[in-house]
Amino acid sequence: MSQYPAFSLDLFRLDGQIALVTGAGCGLGNVFARALASAGATVVSADINLASAEQTAEEVRLLGGKALSVEVDVSDVDSVAAMNRAVLQAYGRLDILVNNAGIASPADRIHEMPVEDWDRVNAVNTRGVFLCTKAVLPQMMAQKKGSIINISSVAGLAGVSNDLSAVAANYSASKGAVATLSKQIAVEYGNEGIRCNAIAPGWHLGTQLGREALPLSEADIAAMVEKLHGLTPLNRTGDPEELAGLLVYLASDAASFMTGQVIAHDGGWTAW
C-alpha cells in the first residue's frame, strides 16, 4: 500500500496552511495571494508599499479568506527578519513562501547600462530571494515540511533579442540566478521535507513590471505586443490570472514529488 493518499482534488487544498507572498501589493503577487486564499490558505501579503499590501489583504478578506499585511523591503536583512518575526508571532508556522517581489530597469544594452541599475535590480530580484528563503528555512526545517516557489522568468532561461527592447541584462541575469538557486535549495533541503520550484513566466501583460523596463509610447508598446504574439506559438501573451493554477499546484500536496524544477509558463515561447 502506498503511504500517500490516492488522488483526490482535495490534494490541491491548502486549508490550515500559512502562505507568505512577497510583492503581493500588485501584479502577479496580488493574483498569487488571492489564488492561495481561494485554495484555503491564510495569506501574508508582504510588499514594500504597506498600503498596497493591505489592499491585497483586504481583497482576500472580501473573498472570504484570511490575510495579514506586512511591510517589507526584501533587499534589506533587518526588514526581512522583521517580516519573518511578524509571521511567526501571528501564526507560529509558515508552510508556503512565494518569492515574487521583483523589479526591472530601463532595457539598456550591457555596454550602456549604469552599474547602479545592475546593483538595484539584483538587490531585489536575487538578494531578495536569498534573504527571504534564508529567513524562513529554519521554521520549515523544524516543521519538516514547506514549499518554496520562486518567480524566475523565461528571460532567465535564454537570451532575449534586442529587437524587443524589453529586457535588460540585469533582469535576465537576476532571473537566471533565481532559477539555479531554486535547484540548489531543492537539493540542500529535500531530505528535510522542503520542496522548492520556480515558475518562469513568459510575456504576461497587465503587471507593473514593464512600466520601468519599457518607457515606450503607446504605439511602440502596441508594436512590441504584436511582435510578441508572432514569436509565441499560442499567438498571444498571457494573463496573470493564468499563472494561478500552476502556483497552487506547486504549493499543494498534489505536487508532493515535485521539486527542483523550473517550469516555463510561456505559451510555448521556449519550445521553438
Closest CA to 67 of 90, 84, 42: 42
- Residue reference for cell 508599499: 49
Residue 38's alpha-carbon distances to 17, 123, 225, in angstroms, are 12, 31, 31
The letter for the amino acid at 157 is: L
- Residue reference for cell 504576461: 204
The H or E element that residue 183 is part of is helix 169-189
Active-site residue, 189 included: no
* The three grid cell numbers given for residue 209, joined into one nine-digit string: 513590471
Residue tagged active-site, from 4, 91, 171, 189: 171
Closest CA to 67 of 40, 93, 85: 40
Contact 76, 52 (CB under 8 A): no
Residues acting as catalytic residues: 171
